[in-house]
Amino acid sequence: MPTKLSAGRTRSTYEFIKANQDRFSVHTMCSLLGVAPSGYYAWLKQPMSNRAQEDARLLLLIRASFIAGQGIYGAPRVFLDLREAGETCSKHRVARLMRENHLRARHGYRSRGWSGGKPSTVLPNLLKRQFTVTRRNKAWVTDITYIRTWQGWLYLAVVMDLFSRKIVGWATKSTLHLELVLEAVLMAVRRRRPRATLIHSDQGTQYGSDGWRRFCRSNHLEPSMSRRANCWDNAVAESFFSSLKKERIKKKKIYKSRALATKDVADYIDTFYNPIRRHSHLGGVSPEQYESAQKPR
C-alpha cells in the first residue's frame, strides 16, 4: 500500500507530473509516485487548496500588522490586530504563519539581577511596587536613560502615569542636570493638572535635591523614592526604556546628532507608543485607547 504523502510533498509531486506530462504518461507517473490521477486532475483545476489560499490571505494581513507594529509584534499582538479587524483565525495559526515566513519580533536586552537594597534615607518609598492603580494621576513614575549619538550622550527623562502606562511628560538634554527632570515633569503637570499625585523615582541626585522637593510641593506632587541599588522598585519605567531601546534605538545604533535622536524619541512616544502600541498590561490596547475606554474617576 503506497505511503500517504504530506500536503506539501503532494503538491510537489503534482508539479513534477505537470512539468513532465509531455514526456511521460500521467497515469504511469501517478502510479510510480504514489498519487491518484483523479487527485492530480482536481489539482490542475485548483492548484492551491482552500486552506492554502486562506493562509496566503491571512499572511498579507499578518505582514501588514507586523510592519505597522514596526517589527516588534509577536504572534499574540498580531493576533489581536487581526481579531480587531474581524478575523476569526486562531492564535496558533498566526504563530505558525509567522514562524514559516520568518516574521520574528525583535528581542530586548537581558536584565541583571539586583539585590533588595536598603530603604532610602532621603525620601520614603511610598509606592512600594504598587504598579497597578485605578485612576488617572494617582501615581506617576519618572526615570532617566541615556542615548548614544556622534555628538556625545543624550539624556532622556520620562514621566509615566501608572494607570494607563502612558508617557505624559518627557525631555532630552545633553547633561544630567536637575533641569532635565524638571522639564519632563513640567510637561506632565501642564498636560494632566495633578492633585496629590504620587511621583516615584530612583535615588538619582536630581531626585534627592532640594530643588526637586520644592518643585513637587508647588505642583501638588508627593515624591517617593526607590531603595538604593534596587531597580525593581521602579521596574515599570525600566520596562519602558527597554522597549524604546529594542524597538527603536537599537535599530539606529548611534544617531548622527542629538537633534535626530530627540526627533526619533518624540516620534516613538507621540505617534507610536502612546496611541498605537499594544500593551500587555492593558489587555492588548494602547495607553491612549485604554484611557479613552475608561470612565473618568
Residue 124 forms part of a structural domain: no
From CA 71, how far away is CA 108, in angstroms rounded?
Answer: 12
Q: Residue 116: pLDDT above 60?
A: no
- The CA distances from residue 167 to 161, 209, 234, in Å, are 7, 23, 15
pLDDT of residue 3: 54
Residues 83, 278 contacting (CB under 8 angstroms): no
Angle at 177 between CA 176 and CA 182, to 5 degrees: 110
pLDDT of residue 179: 94
> What confidence tens digit (pLDDT) does each residue in 46-55 have?
766 677 777 8
- Copy the grid coordinates of residue 160: 509615566
CB-based burial of residue 3 (10 Å sphere; 0-12 exposed, 13-18 middle, 19+ buried)? exposed
149 bridge partner residues: 152, 255
- The residue-averaged pLDDT of 277-296 equals 87
Residue 69 forms part of a structural domain: yes
Q: How many structural domains compose the chain?
A: 3
163 and 62 assigned to the same domain: no
pLDDT of residue 171: 97
User: What pLDDT band is residue 111 in, cutting at 50, 70 and 90?
Assistant: very low
146 and 161 assigned to the same domain: yes
pLDDT of residue 10: 75
Nearest to 227 by CA among 110, 105, 93, 124: 124
Average pLDDT, the chain: 83
Q: Can you give the pTM of this predicted structure?
A: 0.64
Q: Which of 84, 100, 116 is the last residue of a domain?
A: 100
- Lowest mean pLDDT, pick from 22-26, 109-113, 121-125, 275-279: 109-113
Sheet harboring 197-201: ordered strands across? 166-173, 152-161, 139-149, 197-201, 221-225
**Which domain covers residue 24, as residue numbers?**
7-45
41 and 58 assigned to the same domain: no
pLDDT of residue 269: 96
27 and 155 assigned to the same domain: no
221 and 268 assigned to the same domain: yes
User: What pLDDT band is residue 6 in, cutting at 50, 70 and 90?
Assistant: low
87 and 207 assigned to the same domain: no
146 and 289 assigned to the same domain: yes
Q: Residue 119: pLDDT above 60?
A: no
From CA 225, how far away is CA 214, in angstroms rounded?
Answer: 15
Chain centroid, CA 116 distance in Å? 28
Q: Can you give the CATH number for the domain in which 250 is found? A: 3.30.420.10
37 and 83 assigned to the same domain: no
Residue 119 forms part of a structural domain: no
pLDDT of residue 53: 73
pLDDT of residue 231: 57
pLDDT of residue 7: 58
218 and 165 assigned to the same domain: yes
- Copy the grid coordinates of residue 12: 510537489
User: What pLDDT band is residue 264 in, cutting at 50, 70 and 90?
Assistant: very high
- The residue-averaged pLDDT of 3-29 equals 80
160 and 250 assigned to the same domain: yes
> What confidence tens digit (pLDDT) does each residue in 212-257 have?
999 999 999 999 888 765 556 678 888 898 889 888 887 667 888 9
275 and 180 assigned to the same domain: yes
- Lowest mean pLDDT, pick from 4-8, 29-33, 67-71, 208-212: 4-8
39 and 60 assigned to the same domain: no
Contacts of 294 (CB under 8 A, 6+ apart): 136, 164
> What confidence tens digit (pLDDT) does each residue in 122-160 have?
688 888 888 888 999 999 999 999 898 888 889 999 999
pLDDT of residue 117: 46
In degrees and rounded to multiples of 5, residue 239 shows phi and psi of -65, -40
- Lowest mean pLDDT, pick from 90-94, 182-186, 233-237, 263-267: 233-237
> What confidence tens digit (pLDDT) does each residue in 74-86 have?
888 888 877 766 7
Residue 109 forms part of a structural domain: no
Residue 131 forms part of a structural domain: no
Residue 111 forms part of a structural domain: no
pLDDT of residue 115: 42
- Lowest mean pLDDT, pick from 20-34, 88-102, 164-178: 88-102
